[in-house]
Amino acid sequence: MNFAQRLFGFAIFLVCVSITLEATRGQGDDLYSAIRRRMVQSVVVGAGVTDKRVIQSLVDTPRHEFVESKLHNMAYFDMALPIGFQQTISSPFIVAFMTECLETKPTDKVLEIGTGSGFQAAVLSPLVKNVYTIEIIPELGRRARETLTRLKYDNVLTKVGDGFKGWPEHAPFDKIIVTCSPEKPPLPLIEQLREGGLMVIPVGERYQQILYVFRKMDGKLKAEALRPTLFVPMTGRAEDQRAVKPDPTNPRAVNGNFERKLGENGFVSGWYYQRLLTWETDPVAAPEGEHFVTF
């Protein structure tokens, strides 16, 4: 075999490898798509999310693109995942639930506090006119901007800064979503929310939080408690102003015997991640007192 024949053979080999890689890559995309669709049906729709636009956005948003490659095989479990700097990407259900609670419209201008990986902003992108998202950790903010740009979420604007201050240059906002937890809603965010607008935000102590939806009426927030939750704290000025500081040397269990009555929202006080949970009354079966829970 002469040199020209060997060169031609090598070229054919490269073409075959290229075709094989493209086919494999296509199969991978199809595989993620199928897994993502099953996840959404099981843990998003299955847990009670009904907004069809939100459901479709979860189906279309490639969550694996917002985590490190070593975590791709875990991207479609209903769980938070680490993204570095002691931060996490929220579970698919909580992202869908919070998005549904925003009651998004195609004309909305939305402010997000806590960009993180950029996943929540990506889910919001096809549902609203513009998303303005702020991240306090520079490295995460830059990484999220690169990911959102690469995936062509062109109506998402990113900024590195303290989310406590909001983004006054673009206010007022129709909706505000906060993906980290302050002790109470920051005043600048209240001021930047338009009259009649909605804010979805987890507030409370470091490890005891409630997810609320607030509606601005006559310049004040009207609160509706949604469910117990657990988010990373809002750092910066919000953390500096926290009245009740966490005490990691003295941990405590809240409502450890489940004796507290269910709240108006139907959830057991103090406990995060309640799915298909029933508060039972049986003095004989209860380990302590009269109540316990079953899942």
Tens of pLDDT, residue by residue over 183-224, are 999 999 999 999 999 999 999 888 889 999 999 999 999 999
In three state form, how does the secondary structure of 183-236 look?
A: CCCCHHHHHHEEEEEEEEEEEECCCCEEEEEEEEECCEEEEEEEEEECCCECCC
Q: Are residues 66 and 180 in the same domain?
A: yes
pLDDT at 29: 57
pLDDT band at 271 (very low <50, low <70, confident <90, very high): confident
Residue 193 lies inside a defined structural domain of this protein: yes
Q: Are residues 118 and 237 in the same domain?
A: yes
Between 147 and 237, the higher pLDDT residue: 147
> Cβ distance 159 to 134 under 8 Å?
yes
The two structure tokens encoding residue 174: 């129709």
* Bridge partners, residue 212, by sequence: 201, 225
pLDDT at 230: 86
Domain count within the chain: 2
pLDDT at 4: 47
pLDDT at 7: 44
Instruction: Determine phi and psi for 87, rounding to 5 degrees.
Output: -115, 165
Q: Are residues 143 and 263 in the same domain?
A: no
Q: Are residues 274 and 177 in the same domain?
A: no
Residue reference for tokens 């979503």: 177
Task: Quote the mean pLDDT of the chain.
Answer: 88
Residue 11 lies inside a defined structural domain of this protein: no
Range(s) of the domain holding residue 274: 253-295
Q: Are residues 116 and 222 in the same domain?
A: yes
Residue 8 lies inside a defined structural domain of this protein: no
Beta-carbon-side half-sphere exposure of residue 72 (alpha carbons within 13 Å): 9
> What percent of the chain lies above the pLDDT cut of 90?
68
Residues annotated catalytic, as ranges:
90
Pick from 27-31, 180-184, 269-273: least confident: 27-31
> What percent of the chain lies above the pLDDT cut of 70?
90
Pick from 17-31, 107-121, 149-163, 165-179: least confident: 17-31
Q: What is the pTM of this model?
A: 0.84
Q: Are residues 150 and 272 in the same domain?
A: no
Residue 25 lies inside a defined structural domain of this protein: no
Residue 210 lies inside a defined structural domain of this protein: yes
Q: Are residues 241 and 288 in the same domain?
A: no
Q: Are residues 197 and 285 in the same domain?
A: no
Q: Rounded mean pLDDT of 162-174?
A: 97
Q: Rounded mean pLDDT of 9-27?
A: 39
Q: Are residues 257 and 237 in the same domain?
A: no
Between 245 and 165, the higher pLDDT residue: 165
**How does pLDDT run across 89-141, given as a tens digit for each residue?**
999 999 999 999 999 999 999 999 999 999 999 999 999 999 999 999 999 99
Q: Rounded mean pLDDT of 26-36?
A: 73
Residue 63 has pLDDT above 80, yes or no: yes
Q: Are residues 242 and 219 in the same domain?
A: yes
Residue 226 lies inside a defined structural domain of this protein: yes
pLDDT at 241: 86
Question: Which of 183, 148, 146 has its CA nearest to residue 164?
Answer: 183
Pick from 10-19, 59-68, 92-101, 189-198: least confident: 10-19
Give the whole-angstrom CA distance, residue 56 versus residue 98: 15
Domain holding 55: CATH number? 3.40.50.150
Residue 122 lies inside a defined structural domain of this protein: yes
Q: Are residues 165 and 262 in the same domain?
A: no
Q: In what order do the strands lie in the sheet with 209-217?
A: 156-160, 130-135, 109-113, 173-178, 193-204, 209-217, 220-229
Q: Are residues 113 and 196 in the same domain?
A: yes
Residue 267 lies inside a defined structural domain of this protein: yes
